[in-house]
Structure formats: structure tokens, C-alpha cells
Amino acid sequence: MKASELFFPTLREVPSEAEVVSHQLLLRAGFIRKTTAGVYTYLPLAYRVIKKIMNIVREEMDRAGGQEVLMPIIQPAELWKKSGRWDVYGEEMFRLQDRHNRDFALGPTHEEIITTLVNADAHSYRDLPLLIYQIQNKYRDEIRPRFGLMRGREFIMKDLYSFDLDDAGLDISYHKMYEAYNRIYERLHLQYRVVEADSGAIGGNESHEFMVLAENGEAEIVYCDTCDYAANVEKAVCTIDEQEAGDEAMLAIEKIHTPAQKTIQDIVDAFGIPSQRQVKTLMYLADGVLVAAVLRGDRELNEIKLKNALGCNQLFMADQESVMTGCGAGFGSLGPVGMKVKIYLDLEVSQMKNFACGANEDHYHYLNVNLGRDFVPEKIIDIRAAVVGDNCPLCPGHLQSVRGIEVGHIFKLGIKYSQALDAKYIDQNGQEKLMVMGCYGIGVSRTMAAAVEQNNDENGIIWPLPIAPFQVIVVPVNAKKEDQMNTARGLYEELIDNGIEAIIDDRDERAGVKFKDADLIGIPLRITVGPKALEQNQVEVKKRWEKDIELVAVENVISVVQTILGGRD
């Protein structure tokens, strides 16, 4: 490709709409342009990267026994009504009507379509297992699209669905995908981590996320400094150490006047009671029902854990009014003693003795409160957010934390959708049974953004070799000098003949401009044809990820390039 003909409109300045580095660089380097919020056009360079990612994904899916199909984006409402998700999916689904006012959705995911399809055409145990996948655009009317490609409303996703005879079969399919995903991220040359995940609204009981490590990642990952344990903080299990439980004797409960003390810190300041000796009470509305979540004073609640424990659909922090009517006291004076609504007590609090908390009466607190004697919770469960330094749930190690971008997520769905959509098969004994399903997603366009997020410097993108839009850029320092252009052209053609994807920067620009652009768009190797070296029949070979320049005789360039490309791949 000639740079003079390539459509890659680079920008010198950072568009003001871009906040994160991947968004800024993809815009500046002429890879993407926004059409509307969360919807982007992929320009030629970007689409080359996308296609490379797709191909790696496709190869690994095929290798794992997946079969590629292409399902419709436009999906009839009736399918979604059948699964019960037409109402549940809510605002996030793009909906439209045809000329007869029939309802449709733009597919945010394809469980409905694929399950219906498999149910219609796979009837026997002999037809299973099936691993069906596709790579196509998904539509989700996100509450807030952001960070460019990171969270779009239209994005490219690979989604695979597995159909098995039973749980044992699902375990095998799940394991295949787990392995395939690992191979994919290895092959993409991304630093990543597999973590245990919450399965969220999609349902199911086992789930892993594949996280590309990046400082600005939206997700927090905790991992053990000793063993292999790693989890999304949303999921990370908090344990208590039986040894730590004090054998302190219970003291008599005492009510104190706290006219101006509302927060945990106020009590620390006024009475010198450390936050670890206090308890905080958070009020939530779970599907409209008021509940109390009780945690140690210095801890944060993990809402997802609470939501899962309650088994509710919607969980919001309660408003002042609901709290006043439900508890008879306002925020800042709440506590488990005499609490009129159900108490969900964090595991850790069950070990605390003689703690301080609100008295459910404005301007009063209790001291020396004890579980059992002074109050009885509905449940004692793990609902606190894990933090760095916590005990590992699996070994004697401690938890560390990093941030990551979720680029892949695999779920065991079980029979949730086969039940709703009636996906059954006849087994060896002539019995009807429900298929057991799994689903497995990779955000392809997000993976491209994550790759940039992880691989860049002050000059621009540094594409990992397997997904670089081109592998080599040949830069004649002065396009008007015939000897330089001739050598550059010769090398360029030789590269192409050897199956190496190359650009020749034949533009009549100053060398600085070409170098800046080459760095910005992140081509891994640059071959510079300049006057001085050319006198010795040499050119420069520069790796985008290193500072040093290597002088190479023109006749050796191809083999040097091949060695570098081969070595890093």
C-alpha cells in the first residue's frame, strides 16, 4: 500500500471528546471516526486490525470444534417475549417496528435465536453437543457509552453458544472454551488475566472473565500473591480467620447521646472508638422492600454480593423517606439493635464484640453491642467488598489488586434458556431432556481498543505484531530523490513478494512528518532509506518498541525483517 493512497487521516491534536488513551490514539491515528455516541466507523487501518483479531478468534473457535454461522441482527419481539426477556432486558435493547407496527429488536445477544434454531433442528442426543458461533455487530443501548470503542452501543462481538446433553457435557464444552480463550489472548500478544466472575443478569453458575491488564481498565481484579486465585472484585470472596475472633467478654450495652455525630468518623473523633470497632448500617430497597446491610465501620459494601444473596432483581440505596418510615430514625443513627427490617450481616461482623453502632433513634448510639444478645440478623453472609491485603480464600496468601479491561466472558448457563425456550432432545432411553447451555463472548472491537490501551507510548500506538495493520513501513527520507525512492520501492516490492504486509511512504512530506505518522499509527517495523546509509548500500531498520536503529545492507533486509517478525510472533 502506498501511503499517498491510504486513507488514514491523522490528527496533530487530540480531539477534545477523547479521554482515554486508546480513544485518543485511535482517533488521532486515523483508525476510527465517530458517527454518533457509541457508534464508530472503522477506517482502513482499524478494519485490518479487526480482521486480524477476528481471524485469530475464528481459528481458535474452529479448532475447539466451533461452527461459524451468521444470525440475524433484526430479531422479532415474539422470541424475546417467549424467553421473558422482552420486558426484562429493558431500555438497553434497541427496539423498532416494521410498517405493520410489529415489534423487533436489534440483537443485543443471540440466545433466543440460537436456542430456537437448535431446538427446531436438533432433536436427538446424537445431534449434540453443538458449538455454534458468529462474529457480528451487537446492539446495546448502553446507559452511557464511553471511552470510544471500550463501551459502544454498536460493537463487534464473537459469541459462541454450546448445547450439551448434561452438566458433564457442559463442563467439557466450557473447558474447551476456557482453553481456546487462553490461546486467543496469548496469540494476540496481550497481557491478560483470567478471573472468576459474577455471572450477573445472564444467569448461570460458573463464569470467568478474561481481562486485559491496563491502568485505566474499568474493572478491578484482585489476585493472590501466593497462589493462582484471581477474581473480579465484584466476585472476590472475603473470608474470616477463625483465629482472629476475640474471646473478649461481653460488656453491658450502653446508650449514649450523640447530638452531632452522624458518620463513622464523627464517632471516631468524639469518642475515640476506632472504625474497626464500629458497625455501619446501610439501607437498601430490594425490589421495593427495605433491608439493612450491616458491615464493619471501615468496610465497603459489595452491592453485587448483597443482590445475589437477596436474589432480587433491582437493588437501590434507600431514600431518606423510606428509611424514616421503615426504621423510625434517619441516616447516621441506624444500627442493628431494634432494627425493624431484615438484617443482612456481613460475615466479619459476626466476629466482632462490644461494638458501637447507631441506636435507631436520632441522636443516639449504642456501645458494647453484641450479636445474639442484642440483635438477631436474618442472615450472616459475605457482603463486603474485598480490599488489598485481605486473606486469600484459597491459601494463606494475601490479595493484591490490578485493573483490567474485560475482553472476554464465558458462562455456564445451564438450563435457563433451554427451559424458557423449550430446547429439548430425546435421549437414548426415549426420554425428553433439556439441553444444557453455555455462552462465550469476546468483544472484538473492544479487544482492539484494549490492545492500544496496553501498548502505546508518547508517540502513539505500538501494535502487537499479530494484529498490526501492516508489519513494515518503508520510509524514503526524501521522496524526490530518485535513488532513495528506487531503493525504497525495490524493498517494498520484495517485502510484498515475501508475503509481508508493507506500506511505502511515498508522500512528498518532510522526513519528520513521516516518522511521526509511522510512530502514531504504530507499524512495528520501519525501514528508513536515507542518503548517508544508502551510500554504503545500507538502510535503517527500527523496531517501534525499541529506541535503537540497526543498519542493514539492502540485500539482507528481507531476511532481517523475517527474523524479527518470526521471532516476536
Partner RNA sequence: CGGGGCGUAGCGCAGCUUGGUAGCGCGUCUGGUUUGGGACCAGAAAGUCGCAGGUUCGAAUCCUGUCGCCCCGACCA
Binding site residues, RNA, CB under 7 A = 10-17, 19-20, 23, 28, 34, 36-38, 92, 140, 142-147, 150-152, 155, 157, 200-202, 209, 218-219, 303-304, 406-409, 441-443, 445-446, 459, 477-478, 480, 508, 510-513, 515-520, 528, 530-534, 540, 542, 549
Burial of 422 (0-12, 13-18, 19+ CB in 10 A): middle
566: Cβ–Cβ under 8 A, 6 or more apart, which residues? Answer: none
By C-beta, is 466 or 476 nearer to RNA? 476
Please report, in angstroms and rounded to a whole number, the separation of the first and last CA atoms in the chain.
Answer: 22
Q: Which three cell numbers stand for residue 88?
A: 426484562
Residue 335: CB minimum distance to RNA, A: 25
Element (DSSP H or E) covering residue 534: helix 531-535
Per DSSP, the three-state class of 414 is strand
* Separation between Cα atoms, residue 103 and residue 122, nearest integer Å: 28
By C-beta, is 375 or 417 nearer to RNA? 417
Residue 234: CB minimum distance to RNA, A: 8
By C-beta, is 309 or 407 nearer to RNA? 407
Long-range pairs for 371-374 at CB < 8 Å and ≥24 separation? 371/345, 373/250, 373/253, 374/253, 374/336, 374/337
CA nearest to 200, candidates 192, 191, 209: 209
Residue 329: CB minimum distance to RNA, A: 24
By C-beta, is 350 or 401 nearer to RNA? 401
By C-beta, is 140 or 299 nearer to RNA? 140
Residue 184: CB minimum distance to RNA, A: 12
Residue 375: CB minimum distance to RNA, A: 29
Residue 301: CB minimum distance to RNA, A: 11
By C-beta, is 182 or 276 nearer to RNA? 182
CA nearest to 359, candidates 367, 351, 371: 367
- Pairing between strand 32-36 and 39-42? antiparallel
Q: What is the DSSP string of 211-272?
A: EEE-TT-SEEEEEESSSS-EEETTT------GGG---PPPPPPEEEE-TT--SHHHHHHHH-
By C-beta, is 256 or 420 nearer to RNA? 420
By C-beta, is 223 or 440 nearer to RNA? 440
* Separation between Cα atoms, residue 443 and residue 212, nearest integer Å: 12
CB 74 within 8 A of CB 106: yes
Q: Which three cell numbers stand for residue 179?
A: 482453553
Residue 556 backbone phi and psi in degrees, to 5: -100, -5
Q: Which three cell numbers stand for residue 324?
A: 424514616
How many Cα atoms occupy the beta-carbon half-sphere of 316 within 13 Å? 9
CA-to-CA dists, residue 65 to 129, 206, 229, 412, 417, angstroms: 10, 21, 29, 17, 22
Q: Which three cell numbers stand for residue 374?
A: 442484642
Residue 481: CB minimum distance to RNA, A: 8
Per DSSP, the three-state class of 395 is coil
CA-to-CA dists, residue 433 to 89, 205, 428, angstroms: 27, 20, 11
By C-beta, is 76 or 203 nearer to RNA? 203
Residue 11: CB minimum distance to RNA, A: 5
Q: What is the DSSP letter of 73?
A: S
By C-beta, is 133 or 515 nearer to RNA? 515
Residue 408: CB minimum distance to RNA, A: 5
Residue 231: CB minimum distance to RNA, A: 14
Residue 197: CB minimum distance to RNA, A: 8
Residue 57: CB minimum distance to RNA, A: 11
Residue 441: CB minimum distance to RNA, A: 4
By C-beta, is 353 or 543 nearer to RNA? 543
By C-beta, is 255 or 510 nearer to RNA? 510
* Separation between Cα atoms, residue 539 and residue 559, nearest integer Å: 13
305: Cβ–Cβ under 8 A, 6 or more apart, which residues? Answer: 234, 381, 382, 383, 384
